[in-house]
Each structure stands twice: as C-alpha cells, then as structure tokens.
C-alpha cells in the first residue's frame, strides 16, 4: 500500500521504491473538476489514489495556533498574497488566546481514520518559529530586531514553539498521524536567511524541546523550506528530522544533496513548477525520470514538486509528471 511505502521510505535507509507526496498542492481547479471539492477528505483520497500519492495533508492546511501576524491582500485577479507583518510588541503575543481545538481534533481523527483505511499516510502540518515570526514581522523588521533586540526574537520563538507543544499534547498525541510537517521557510537561493550561528542561537533549543515530544510519541517529523539546504540539513539531522521537502531545483543540485546527505535524511521534491508549466509533455516525462533515478540513488527519496503546483500548470503536463512517478514506483516495487 502507498501508506506502507511512505512509512518505510521516510524511516528506513536504502529502501528501493519511491513514494509520491505533494507537500503543498494548489491545483484546486483540477481537483475540483475531476474529484470534487478540495476541502472534503474523501475527494482528496480519490485524487491521491488516482494519481498515486502516498500521503496527504489531513488538516487542509496548517493547524491553527492563532499565531499568524502576517497581512494578506487580494490581487486584481482574486489571488491572496502576503504583504508584510504586523508583529512589533510582546503585548500582541499576550493578547492572543489559544484556539479551541475540540472541532479540529474531531475532524483530524476522522480524516486520519479515513486515509489510513484507504492505504494512504496522513500528515499534520504545524507552523515553525522562524518562519512564523519572520513573516509575522516582515523580514526587514525581523533583521533589525536581530541587532537591536535579540531577546525579543527569542521570546517570540519560545511563544510559537510553546503553542506547538500544546498542540502536540492536545491534538497530535490523540490523532497519531503518520508524520508531522513543520512549515519552516528559512532560506534563500544562496543559503540561510541569517548567519548559521545566529540561526542556531534563535531556534535550536526551542526546536529540540518541541520535537522531543514527537520522539516520545514515536511520530516522524519532517520539514519544509524553499532555498538552498546545505547549511540547514545538518541542523535537521541533529534534531532528528526524518525528511526535508523542497530541494528547490534553482537553489540545489539534487545529485549533490544525495551525495552529502542521502544517507542521513530523506529528501523530498525537486521538480520545478515553472518547468512543468512551460515544458512539453515528452520533456516533462524525461526530466521526471531523471529526477527519480537520481533521487533514488541512495534509497531515501520522495517524489514531489519543490513547491506547490498551481492551476497555471496545464493538467496534461502535471498528469504526465504523476504518471511517470506512478509507473517508476511500480517497476521498482
């Protein structure tokens, strides 16, 4: 089953098969037209089984911890876009109550049961402190605080992760998903957004304390970020992360990542969505095959786009990408 394959690859080295997990999925028009409303887990399961996906997000997004201070505006085309952050004082943190997770828990338990019965892995997503605070403040203000008031940022990091720990105790421990993903954008195409030592000073201890709860529950945990991964992956390995998603093609050489880190962590992604939108179907099939051959070289790779596939990608292009993954996995099982 796809769920078994996902769990084996994410946890075990040198497993000769490739699951498919689209960590972010934005082809909602295709999903709606072919399978029904995206917010119904039954429709997501139908799509996953048809496309050969091994895992799905069972929460429809990131678990709400009432910790988002980003601003969103709508474009003329009706798209929502991030437009900066409003966080500037600790008083704002103190005024934020914790959500009531009663309905969330009920929905997630139900969804996990359904995806498990369908033979698919269920994943719960959590925010991560660096990304949530950097976007909550806006990166320019965040960088000023690094110099002017480092303790403010440390307090903010603790506040985010303490909420994550409460969510793990109240929700994740009851749902028992197959894995947890931390949404953690923290890198540019050239490396971490801030110097590695500053990065470590900000997030290390808080992250260790949060993931220790998942270790106790024996739930694997994974990480997403765009950008270049070389400076980040050693931290993830030290923290015990099972996998990292993104492997952004414009910022990383997949072969190099496999050589450096493929023995220690499962890599997820690498297919460029701009390429999927503009290439021909034969080109997509060749490039997907190339990605799969290279990614599977050390036995721990999960196929995916490096970020969310959107509806600007022609359906026939995306379906060709999925078809190659499905057939490649069948050949190697």
Residue numbers of the domain that contains 208: 2-332
Nearest to 321 by CA among 306, 333, 332: 306
The residue to which tokens 């008031």 are assigned: 149
The residue to which tokens 């992250």 are assigned: 207
Share of the chain above pLDDT 90, in %: 87
61-109 pLDDT tens trace: 999 999 999 988 877 776 777 888 999 999 999 999 999 999 999 999 9
Q: Rounded to two decimals, what is the model's pTM?
A: 0.95
The CA distances from residue 193 to 5, 189, 231, 249, in Å, are: 34, 9, 10, 18
> What's the pLDDT score for residue 333?
40
Nearest to 317 by CA among 292, 288, 284: 284
> What's the pLDDT score for residue 332?
45
Res. 2 pLDDT band, cuts 50 70 90: confident
Q: What is the CATH number of the domain that holds 197?
A: 3.20.20.210
Count of the separate structural domains present in the chain: 1
Mean pLDDT of the region 276-290: 98
Q: Are 240 and 210 in contact (CB under 8 A)?
A: no
**CA 276/CA 266 separation, integer angstroms:** 23
pLDDT over 90 (residue 168) = yes
247-271 pLDDT tens trace: 999 999 999 999 999 999 999 999 9
CA atoms within 13 A on the CB side of 110: 10
121-145 pLDDT tens trace: 999 999 999 999 999 999 999 999 9
């Amino acid at each position: 089953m796809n769920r078994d394959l996902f769990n084996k690859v994410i946890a075990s080295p040198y497993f000769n098969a490739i699951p498919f997990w689209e960590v972010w999925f934005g082809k909602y028009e295709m999903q709606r037209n072919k399978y029904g409303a995206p917010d119904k887990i039954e429709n997501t399961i139908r799509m996953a089984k048809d496309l050969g996906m091994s895992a799905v997000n069972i929460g429809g997004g990131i678990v709400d911890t009432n910790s988002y201070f980003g601003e969103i505006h709508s474009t003329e085309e009706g798209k929502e876009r991030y437009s900066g952050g409003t966080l500037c004082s600790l008083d704002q943190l103190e005024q934020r109550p914790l959500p009531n997770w009663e309905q969330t828990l009920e929905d997630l338990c139900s969804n996990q049961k359904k995806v498990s019965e369908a033979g698919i892995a269920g994943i719960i997503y959590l925010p991560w402190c660096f990304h949530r605070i950097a976007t909550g403040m806006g990166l320019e203000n965040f960088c000023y605080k690094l110099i002017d008031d480092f303790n403010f940022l440390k307090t903010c990091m603790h506040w985010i992760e303490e909420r994550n720990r409460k969510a793990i105790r109240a929700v994740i421990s009851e749902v028992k998903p197959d894995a947890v993903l931390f949404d953690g954008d923290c890198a540019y195409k050239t490396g971490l957004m801030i110097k590695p030592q500053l990065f470590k000073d900000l997030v290390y201890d808080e992250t260790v304390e949060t993931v220790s709860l998942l270790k106790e529950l024996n739930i694997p945990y994974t990480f997403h970020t765009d950008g270049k991964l070389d400076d980040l992956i050693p931290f993830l390995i030290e923290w015990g992360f099972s996998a990292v998603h993104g492997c952004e093609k414009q910022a990383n050489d997949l072969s190099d990542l496999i050589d450096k880190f493929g023995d220690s962590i499962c890599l997820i992604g690498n297919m460029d969505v701009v390429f999927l939108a503009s290439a021909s179907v034969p080109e997509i099939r060749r490039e997907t095959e190339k990605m799969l051959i290279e990614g599977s070289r050390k036995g721990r790779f999960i196929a995916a786009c490096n970020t969310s596939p959107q509806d600007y990608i022609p359906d026939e292009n995306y379906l060709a990408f999925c078809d190659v993954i499905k057939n490649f996995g069948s050949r190697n099982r």
